Structure 1
Amino acid sequence: MGVNPNKGNVIIVTTHNESVASIVNPHNWYNLEKLSEDDCWSIIKAKAFESGDVPELFQTIGKAIAQQCRGSPLAANMMGAVLRGKEIDDWKSIQDIEPSNIEGYQNSMVKVLKISFDHLPSSSLKECFAYCSIFPKDSVI
């Protein structure tokens, strides 16, 4: 369709960082609230259990894991993907990971990313990610 100067155009900018959004000088600003723990649990359930039937034992642990997502849909989605097809002992091990001593959204996301990395299906994928981490941000590889 392209840009049409007669009808006007809309650009949507999404970010977790207000300073990034302020750079584009938005006309309208919508600050979305974090998801509830129940919403995070719904995302985890949908990703982890195709059938939608969740055994009672998984529900208790899953709700505790949903709380650790701190309202982030990305974290809930990643946790659900990591937990898919896992046994109850795997769920418990993820639940028992100590929260970071440093508070804040960004650090909780690092924790979720670390859990996701630790549960990659092969060591060669881990090696690939580790290798890529030596390059500075925005490097051309």
Structure 2
Amino acid sequence: MTARILLLNGPNLNLLGTREPEVYGSESLADVEALVARAAGEFGLDVRAVQSNHEGALIDAIQEAREDCSGIILNPGAFTHTSIALRDALASVPIPAIEVHISNVHAREEFRHHSYISAVAAGLIVGCGVQGYELAVRRLAQLLAG
């Protein structure tokens, strides 16, 4: 059975490629999903991709990952800075999660400097553009290999 990772993208990430390209780049969400699938394939991993603008749908996806995923790559978008519920959902599943942000959130507005997610994530990648997702796959593969 092939190990699967959940690629979870939060609010407004469906607009990648058109939303503030000077901050988030010109790659689309489909480009990100293809990049992750390619990188995961190198390690024999399958990917289930979910994007939602709704906090509850993201929580549901995290809880469902308990059943069929070995790890999570998560860009929670703005929920990073506001959602204790997402943090608690991640803490409730016994699989590693890597938090990813396309932009360097620490070089942006002060409210973006705090993450509720980081404390329960196995790793954090910021400011590497969409390449951060590929780095997250590689790190998650290392964690899963033990």
The TM-score with structure 1 as length reference comes to 0.25
TM-score, normalised by the number of residues in structure 2? 0.24
Asked which structure has the greater CA Rg, the reply is: 1
Larger strand share, 1 or 2: 2
